[in-house]
Structure 1
């Protein structure tokens, strides 16, 4: 107690000292100043931080606009050739010349390769000689014993046939003339009746009616003459046919120098020799390998000088084969479309194709085939939809992975927003709009179909409204969206995906 009192007295004595009192006041003022500066800095920092956050939030605002919107059905697929074959010779042999390389485009019927045909040339010459000898024998037997008379008879037969042909053509001409005059007579008689009636009514002169009757009579006379000429022509044709048959019989008798059986046997021998020649020529023609359809050479399996054999296996992407080349025809896209979206797909429907290799390029096509049967994989039912690119000379190649947008409709005046702007809260779809203070505020909306990366808003927004896009996790957590979201329309900011057709399910929460 005595010590405390002594200490207090000492402090009092120090403060009573003018010099010590002055130092204490200085220290108090400096401390107060430092405290004021620290407090002001903290206040400025907090204000600046709040302003910066508000500025960052305002950068995420986008304007809602109306416009034309295409309605899509999205799908993934693969580029495949419509036709694909391995080309090989019909017979095993030596490849003499290869005229194409991998990647070449060929036309239907274009020569691709030539096989060695040296072993067939001798057979072809022998077969051709045998055929010509057989023809000479037939001609000898058919000529008979009097070649001059046979030739004259043949000339007369040809002449008679020509006369009969001309007579038939004349009858056809006269039949057409009779038909035309019959029609003309009907018209003239009808016209004459009308003119007579009009003349009686005073609408035309009597002379007009007389002229019409006269013209009808003239036509009738022409028709009678044509019919008579036709009858005469038919009689002339009958006579020509009779003469032709008689001359033909005479010609046949003059050729009867050899027995009919001998001539027939010679003809059969000639036919047999011709068949042998055709077989050898076909084998030679088969050594010239041609493209069965237009397309691209996708694989080259061998080079000139190699022995190649026939193959019946289908074309594959394998780099080895006993064939010569692999040929792929026109390309098509084969996409897997979900069962729920299949009714929206129609033949001839336009489609936009995007390849993984060319993500910024759109290839346009049309639907050419819809599979009649489903494919079930892991309890998921899909249907194959085939679409053919309009430009077959594009950069698309067989085997490429692609994404397809099937254009199933258009909206002329629709409000659309990015699908990432739409979130779900308690089963209600909505977007974030700025409130009076510029802070995000949940606004319920009704959604329609998707249009690629956007979704149609049918109710809840109007042209010119501002909504938030791409809010941070902290901003979303501040609004109460820090956990995993439930099923809703569309995908909110930060969500990973949305099913096509409108409603979707969040696959990743905002707070993850």
Structure 2
């Protein structure tokens, strides 16, 4: 009996030791896993800095004032007195037209005036002595007046043989060459040359409809052009179009194209005009400008990296790592969005740690970025 009793005690003790070892081993394993998990999480502090929100757009450089010089009559160009890049002043003679045909018409009109004047004078005399009727006198007067009007028109056409600069500026592009037929017209006249005032320039930029609400007249902007690498120019918003670039809201103007594009969603853009600072006169018409419009700016703002911000159906939140190593989801109110940071208006304190990266089981450390597709409306 004594042997059996000792055996049972030893078996019970062994079982207790095994159970204790298993519990300790499990707790040790769990502790190690938690330590690894805590070590794998990277955090960034909530900090303060100057933050700026911008709207990106692409536009084209153009002079504020420019004009296309055309002829009011159809005639062949006789001479061009200026060339590309020449500076001209308003009223300066810049080209002449061949006046041969119009001179002949003016001579004929002058002859007709002299002829009808003589007939009118004779009709007046005959009427005064009762030899002509009132009707004959009136016909003679009408013929004379018509001839005078025709002569005035011919003389006006002759005056158009000399082309003068309608404004001061620079000849942009090559003018037409002598011998070219300059055709008059309201729809598609021949452009003899273009003159632009290059002292003041603008950018005509296209801004996406998702950003246009943040753009205001008077906002400052910076831009670059490919021709001057590393140089940044400044500009200011001067005008915001009240209609989109395609006037798609107007069914009368867009009906012809709506049928072909009705099944395809298109991006809506609005024209924004910016006045350009170019004191060195480096920029040329039609250069492509990549614009950054400063829509909001705040100094000493409470911020976190944009990559740490997450969203769900309840709003925007971050994962906060507490002093004891625990983590919690914290909902926040946001303000200005920049390219890399977002302003926090409420929900976080300066110095708190927010989780920026995590490690999934069996994987390497990776950044967990927010896929929210742009800042929400402010």
Q: TM-score, normalized by length of structure 2?
A: 0.56
Distance 2:291 2:212 in 1: 14
Q: Deviations over 1:72-111 (max 9, x none)?
A: 4332223356877574674241x33323332446667654
Q: Give the C-alpha shift of residue 366 in structure 1.
A: 0.8
The equivalent of 1:339 in structure 2 is 209
CA shift at 1:362, angstroms?
A: 0.5
Q: Which residues of structure 2 form unaligned runs of 5+?
A: 1-43, 250-260, 324-329
Question: Which residue of structure 1 lines up, in the alignment, with residue 13 of structure 2?
Answer: none
Structure 2 match to 1:486: 369
The alpha carbon displacement at 1:334 in A equals: 3.2
Counting matched residue pairs gives: 301
1:99 and 2:81 correspond: yes
Q: What's the counterpart of residue 325 of structure 1?
A: 193
SS of alignment partner, residue 232 of structure 2? strand
Provide the residue aligned with 2:48 in structure 1. 64
Cα deviation, 1:176-209, whole Å, max 9, x if unaligned, reads xxxxxxxxxxxxxxxxxxxxxxxxxxxxxxxxxx
Query: What per-residue deviation string (whole Å, max 9, x for no partner) do you get for residues 290-333 of structure 1?
Result: 45677654321543x43334387999xxxxx9853345688653
In structure 1, the residue matched to 2:267 is 381
Say which structure is richer in strand.
2
1:344-493 matches, cutoff 5 A: 344-345=214-215, 348=217, 350=219, 352-357=221-226, 359-372=231-244, 373=247, 379-389=265-275, 395-406=282-293, 408=295, 415=301, 421-424=305-308, 447-450=334-337, 455-459=342-346, 482-483=365-366, 485-487=368-370
Partner Cα distance (1:119, 1:255) in 2: 43
Instruction: Look up the SS of the partner of 1:423 in the other structure.
Output: helix
Q: Does 1:285 align with 2:154?
A: no
Q: Report the CA distance shift for 1:267/1:336 in structure 2 as closer, same or farther (over 3 A).
A: same
Q: Give distance in 1, aligned partners of 2:118 and 2:340.
A: 81
Secondary structure of residue in 2 paired with 1:340: helix
Q: Write out per-residue CA displacement over residues 390-409 of structure 1, whole angstroms, 9 at most, x where no aligned residue.
A: 66985443322223344556
Distance in 1 separating the partners of 2:357 and 2:187: 57
* 1:387, distance to aligned residue in structure 2 (A): 0.8
1:43 corresponds to: none
User: Equivalent of 2:137, from 259, 263, 268?
Assistant: 263
Q: 1:215-257 deviations in whole A, cap 9, x for unaligned?
A: xxxxxxxxxxxxxxxxxxxxxxxxxxxxxxxxxxxxxx98988
Contact (CA 8 Å) 1:97, 1:114: kept in 2 or not?
yes
Residue 374 of structure 1: how far off its partner (Å): 5.0
Residue 95 of structure 2 corresponds to which residue in structure 1?
113
Aligned pair in 2 of structure 1 residues 339, 258: CA closer, same or farther (>3 Å)?
same
In structure 2, C-alpha distance between the alignment counterparts of 1:379 and 1:486, rounded to whole Å = 28
- The 1:483/1:392 distance shift into structure 2, 3 A limit, reads closer
Segments of 5+ residues of structure 1 without an aligned counterpart are: 1-59, 146-252, 316-320, 436-442, 468-474, 490-497, 504-512
Q: In 1, distance between residues paired with 2:319 and 2:287?
A: 37
Counterpart contact for 1:87–1:326, Cα < 8 Å: no
Cα distance in 2, alignment partners of residues 481 and 349 from structure 1 = 48
Larger Rg, first or second structure (1 or 2)? 1
CA distance in 2, matches of 1:327, 1:254: 59
CA RMSD of superposed structures (Å)? 5.3
* Aligned-partner SS, 1:371: strand
Residue 415 of structure 1: how far off its partner (Å):
0.8
2:147 alignment partner in structure 1: 273
TM-score by length of 1: 0.44
- Report which of the two has the higher share of helix: 1
How far apart are 1:71 and its partner, in Å? 5.0
* Number of the residue aligned with 2:39: none
